[in-house]
Structure 1
Amino acid sequence: MSSATASVGQQARHMTVFSVLFMISSVHLLNDAIQSVVPAMFPILHESLNLSFSQIGLIGFALNVTASILQPLIGLYTDTRPKPYLLPIGILFTLAGVVGLAFAPTFFYIMLSVILIGIGSSVLHPESSRVAYLAAGNRRGLAQSIFQVGGNMGQALAPVMTALIFVPLGQKGIVWFAIAAIVALIIQTKVAHWYKANLVARPKASKGGAAAQPAGARGAIVGVSMTILLMLLFSKFVYVASMTGFYSFYAIDRFGISVDQAQLILFALLFAGMAGTFFGGPLADRLGRRNMIWFSILGTAPFSLLLPYANSMLWAIVLCIFIGFILMSGFSVIVVYAQELFPNKVGTVSGLVFGVSFGLGGVGSAVLGKVADVSGIDLVIQVCAYLPLLGLLAAFLPTDRKLHALSAGSDSTTGAIKG
């Protein structure tokens, strides 16, 4: 009987719990739609509050750096003290930020509101990524893709909602997103119930454990690998910041189009990114994580380099579709790759990856805003087009077989699904 029970438990741990994955994906959609409204609103805020490009860059900086600092700290804390009900608590911060942003009368209150939204995201991403890890079974690439595709869908919807809602209604139209935050709160409460019921706390790793303090050859490989992953994240998210924050200004000036038409170009980029995210994880499960990471960054370069020379809105949309699909196909794979480098620290490494991503986007937004004020939008778009060439560094990542060996050498699950 004990052998049969153990067998059932082992099978349960390898099952993929799609209902939970779809719930966290839907919350990711709502959260990232809210978060992506901030850069999508930049042209409107630029006019309504007479903001400079530098101030617009600082708004993006505040939103992203708040999450950048908090996400790895939250992941580190919950690796040793799991707190399932942090998930709905994080949504409450987002709700407060949405209401504040809708009625913010000055630059200061906009900054305060986006910081609250950043706090909400800093809870959602590492903790929901952990839930995806627990619910993945043997299909970690697929699970992370399901989780990530919700966020990409939310990002893709933001420009459309800006064109349909915020252009006619203005800043106060953001208050409608309070409904989205309330729906997310209800779903996250249900996810927290599942998380609490199905989490089996792991024993604390010893201080000398391989995952806590890698030594010797493994430590060197892991250190180099994480450095490369961080460089790839730099190339991806600074480029994304240039597109989501500033390409609409570039397109308006270059093609003589309206604000809502410029949002359609961003929608094409982000919607294609959603599709890329959906296919990226399953393809990585089949073709290899390193191969997918390499393709997702370096494969973007030919299209990003052509984009500044597109001579019509139509060609810009076509190029953005290729850029979005290829570039976004690798992020969920990078998350899983990093988790497998540190299998004992899933929350910490997930928070680090998301935190670095947000931080790079924030710093990139601030720096690019300053460059735009001094040297013009054209230079920002032209220089950032070269960033995907950093994808060449992926060639130096360990192969999937080597990654599996590193993971197996220190693997200890952060939790399991009860059988």
Structure 2
Amino acid sequence: MTLAPPPTAPTRSRAALWALTATHAANDFYTGAVAALLPYFVLHAHYSYAAIAGITLAATALSSIAQPCFGFLSDRYGMRWMSLAGLLVAGAGVSLSGMISGSYIAVWLVIALSGIGVAAYHPAATVEAREAGGGTSKAMSLFSVGGNVGVALAPPAVFLVVGWFGLAGTGLLIIPALGLGALYAVVSWRDLFGSHHTDVTTTSTPTPTLPDDWRAFGWLTAVLATWSVAYVGTSTFISLYSIERFDSTPGQAAVALSLFPAAGAIGTLSGGWLADRLGRLRIVRAGYLAAAFSTLAIVLAPSALLVTVATAVLGVSLFIPFAAQITLSHSYLPNRIGVASGVTLGLTLSLGGLVSPLLGQLADRTNLQSVFAVIVTLLGVGYAMSFTLKERQA
């Protein structure tokens, strides 16, 4: 089974790319909503740090297995409808979580269901975005920034619904999935359900000129593992860090959590543009180095305000390499674009989620400052390993 590098996107493809960007915002809104709900589970449902890290694990553990599987299915059978179905499942799980917060097991299960939905969305949608955008880092950064926007919008949305209606108000969070899912279904009905996508093995596309380089992809995966822990660890604990260390209110602490992905949107767009002009590897290495220093600033910050500023800088730094890492994965596995997307995007949540309970236990035994000290170290390791990566065109 092979996939060819996509052609330059025509007008209709650009419209599809923007529609996909909107659904990416809606899908990753639910990732951000899980993180934004954690302080409320601590304050109102009295969950421990280890327990709320377990919720993060629920959102990501099955996803770590499912995303490459969904990627394989995308490569083998097309199944573009998975992007829409995944979005709806992701929304349903999060919207139910606050309504059943009295039962930790029930919350864990519906958040796990939401994670499966996120896993189903990403590979199919990323393949579509690659085709619509011509395979450039700039186009991929536009699609990726939709995720940043969605995550950034989640904390204020959660603050509003929980503030007005309590945890039971999370039922209203299904609205982005229903609204943008319906819009995308109208715009891309034929792409989602047309017969020409039922089995992509029957298409007559030229074979990529390069074989899959699994060794290079393995090194990229190792680098991404450190990125994943930094991203998920920051999303999970940054609000609680401000509350624990500086006695911030949940509303004040949510500012840093919202700025993190919002700044990440700037990093994603600028990183994609710079990667096409300066080279992907330079951008990846610069991003990891800057992220390590900005996380160190969080550890040493003397006030909640400086934590917020440092978190914004971290958001920019951490997402500068994002689009370049995705297109690198595609160049390493040109014959397995769906699998490459599933592993690459899955790692942004999954491996970090698997480690988050350990970070939660560390926080329970020491403090949250120790968690961010660990993240500094891991980002330094990621920077060092990035020098094992090589450029490749496919």
State the TM-score, normalizing by the size of structure 1: 0.85
8 Å Cα contact 2:68-2:346 kept in structure 1: yes
Task: Summarize the Cα distance change of 1:319–1:96 in structure 2 as closer, same or farther, 3 Å threshold.
Answer: closer
Note the alpha carbon deviations across 1:343-398, whole angstroms, 9 max, x for none: 11100111111222322121122111111122222211222222221212222211
The alignment yields a C-alpha RMSD, in angstroms, of: 2.4
2: CA distance, partners of 1:98 / 1:257: 25
The equivalent of 2:222 in structure 1 is 231
Percent identical among aligned pairs is 27
2: CA distance, partners of 1:192 / 1:151: 22
The equivalent of 1:4 in structure 2 is none
Task: Summarize the Cα distance change of 1:236–1:112 in structure 2 as closer, same or farther, 3 Å threshold.
Answer: same
The equivalent of 2:323 in structure 1 is 332
1: CA distance, partners of 2:172 / 2:193: 31
8 Å Cα contact 2:26-2:147 kept in structure 1: yes
- Equivalent of 1:279 in 270, 277, 286: 270
Offset at residue 188 of structure 1 (A): 3.8
Within-5 A mapping of 1:70-219: 70-104=66-100, 105-137=102-134, 139-189=135-185, 190-194=187-191, 201-202=200-201, 219=213
The equivalent of 1:50 in structure 2 is 46
- Equivalent of 1:15 in 9, 16, 29: 9
Letter in 1 for 2:79: K
State the TM-score, normalizing by the size of structure 2: 0.90
Letter in 2 for 1:123: A
2: CA distance, partners of 1:92 / 1:281: 28
8 Å Cα contact 2:293-2:376 kept in structure 1: no
Query: Which of 1 and 2 has greater Rg?
Result: 1
The equivalent of 1:7 in structure 2 is none
Note the alpha carbon deviations across 1:225-259, whole angstroms, 9 max, x for none: 22321222122121122211112222112222211
Segments of 5+ residues of structure 2 without an aligned counterpart are none
2: CA distance, partners of 1:287 / 1:82: 34
The equivalent of 1:357 in structure 2 is 348
Note the alpha carbon deviations across 1:42-91, whole angstroms, 9 max, x for none: 11111222211111111100101122111100111221111122222223
The equivalent of 2:236 in structure 1 is 245
Offset at residue 203 of structure 1 (A): 5.8
Note the alpha carbon deviations across 1:166-215, whole angstroms, 9 max, x for none: 2443212211111111113213424352355576935699xxx9977x5x
2: CA distance, partners of 1:253 / 1:376: 8
- The reply to whether residue 293 of structure 1 matches residue 284 of structure 2 is yes
Larger deviation, residues 139-148 vs 70-79:
139-148
1: CA distance, partners of 2:83 / 2:372: 37
Segments of 5+ residues of structure 1 without an aligned counterpart are 1-9, 408-419
The equivalent of 2:247 in structure 1 is 256
8 Å Cα contact 1:100-1:109 kept in structure 2: no
Task: Summarize the Cα distance change of 1:303–1:87 in structure 2 as closer, same or farther, 3 Å threshold.
Answer: closer
8 Å Cα contact 1:90-1:123 kept in structure 2: yes
Larger deviation, residues 18-27 vs 379-388:
379-388
2: CA distance, partners of 1:276 / 1:306: 18
8 Å Cα contact 2:75-2:200 kept in structure 1: no
The equivalent of 1:265 in structure 2 is 256
SS in 1 for 2:348: helix
The equivalent of 1:5 in structure 2 is none
Larger deviation, residues 196-205 vs 124-133:
196-205
8 Å Cα contact 1:236-1:327 kept in structure 2: yes
Aligned length: 381
The equivalent of 2:307 in structure 1 is 316
8 Å Cα contact 1:28-1:150 kept in structure 2: yes
